[in-house]
Amino acid sequence: MSLFADLTAGINTVRPGRTTMPGIDFALVVCVAALALFGLLMVYSASIALADGPRYENYGRYYFVIRHGVFLAVGVVVMLAALNVSMDIWRKVTIPLFVVTLILLCVVLIPGIGREVNGARRWLSLGIVNFQPSELMKVAIVLFAAEYTARKRDHMQSFLRGFMPMALALAVVGATLLMEPDLGAFMVIVAIAVGILFIGGLNGKLFSGLILFLLTSFLMLIWLSPWRRERLFVYLDPWNPENTYGSAYQLSHSLIALGRGEWFGVGLGASVEKLHYLPEAHTDFIVAVIGEELGFVGVMALLGLFAFLIWRGFEIARQAIAMDRIFSSLVAQGVVMWFGVQAFINIGVCLGLLPTKGLTLPLVSYGGSSIVMNCLALALLLRVDHENRNMMRGRKP
């Protein structure tokens, strides 16, 4: 029986002695749809004025929202296709997917193949669109870390057999990402992998040592890189005139936008900062436009949707672990850790709580690769939930 038949089978069928249960978590689906549609609306609002400037004058007012809508449509198609793939099959393709994605990360670095933008080489040109392999690596690392931890769970207390292989894999991924450079993606990928290892039972001393090593490494990367060091210092003092008109320009205008919004905002579409004052308002700093137009209430509603998604994800993982489905449980937790960490960093940057870092807000910010990979990740989460519900009915996953 197909997944779509399964989804409707549990709605209208009542068996003696059993309660009806939908084939999928509709509350989670509504939450995801709300985030995606809200993102489409805010991308439209944040980007509509870009055509008035010289950089995008040939694009048209609806260029970004149309492309974002197309990316969302592609993401939905990918999601529906991935929903019909069992977690057993996902587990079998985990290592090939990881290897192929790692190769793509290396291909990006080849001059003439990888596309360079503002000094960063992160994209592969596919004609009318660009593909960012680091986004696919986030999906790959969720599956890879979950499969590795489930397979090695009896050796997670061992340094050589439990810790070192994953540490080496992360080191290789990190080296390629830092050569692009893409420190933001590396931070998210490390957070996903380390989180899964910790949940899977990694030795406490090894985990503490790993966290200390990563923190030291990140600080060294910042200190040894003049432009990263400058970002850190301007984040600490964004209102210094030298910083406000320099490296802290985005942060200062993001804070101005949020301040203008106050409690209820200036009204949808009425943002001033998006009128060429705040760069990348439709991508990395879309929360600033949300805060200006919809105020504190709008930002809190956005946080509420993310909080619900993360809570439901951990509930799905808890149900999977109760049925001894270790791999599926770790995949579900990896997905929500990805969304939680990336949302925390993006919103933290816009609020001035963290140094400026180029990360999109999942499901909300403009971006082709990120939207499609977000949908693929959510398909994994929904598939885990679907298989949980099948097992509760006494059926095969």
Distance from C-alpha of 215 to C-alpha of 224, rounded to nearest angstrom: 14
* Element spanning 125, H or E: strand 120-125
User: What amino acid is encoded at 396 in this protein?
Assistant: K
Tens of pLDDT, residue by residue, the chain (397 residues)? 455 445 444 444 444 445 567 778 899 999 999 999 999 999 999 998 887 777 777 787 889 999 999 999 999 999 999 999 999 999 999 999 999 999 999 999 888 787 777 667 788 888 778 889 999 999 999 999 999 999 988 777 777 777 788 888 888 998 898 888 888 898 899 999 999 988 888 777 777 877 787 778 777 777 777 766 766 677 777 877 777 777 778 888 999 999 999 999 999 989 999 988 888 889 899 999 999 999 999 999 999 999 999 999 999 999 999 999 999 999 999 999 999 999 999 999 999 888 877 789 999 999 889 999 999 999 999 999 999 998 887 777 6
Q: What count of other Cβ atoms lies within 10 Å of the Cβ of residue 246?
A: 12
Neighbour tally for 191: CB within 10 Å: 20
Question: Measuring CA to CA, how many Å separate 190 from each of 75, 172, 232, 380?
Answer: 24, 12, 20, 20
Identify whether the C-beta of residue 239 lies closer than 8 Å to the C-beta of residue 233: no
SS3 121: strand
- Which pLDDT score is estimated for 19? 52
**With contact defined as beta carbons under 8 Å apart, do 232 and 354 qualify?**
no
Judge whether 328 and 57 are in contact, CB under 8 Å: no
C-alpha 267: how far from its chain's center? 28
Q: Are 333 and 313 in contact (CB under 8 A)?
A: yes
- Output Rg (C-alpha) for the chain, integer angstroms: 22
Q: DSSP assignment of 154-196, as one string?
A: GGTT-IIIIIHHHHHHHHHHHHHHHHTT-HHHHHHHHHHHHHH
pLDDT of residue 181: 80
Domain boundaries, the chain: 1-9+23-84+243-397, 94-224
Q: Which residues, in sequence order, are CB contacts of 143 under 8 Å at separation 6+?
A: 90, 91, 94, 97, 98, 331, 334, 380
Q: Which residues contact 127 (CB under 8 A, 6 or more apart)?
A: none
Q: What pLDDT was estimated at residue 315?
A: 96
Residue 26 region by backbone torsions, left for phi larger than 0, else alpha for psi between -120 and 50, else beta: alpha
pLDDT tens-digit map of 105-114: 999 988 878 7
User: Which amino acid, 143?
Assistant: L
Do the Cβ atoms of 291 and 258 come closer than 8 Å?
Answer: yes
Phi and psi angles of residue 26, each rounded to the nearest 5 degrees, phi first: -70, -30
Strand (E) or helix (H) holding 219:
helix 204-224
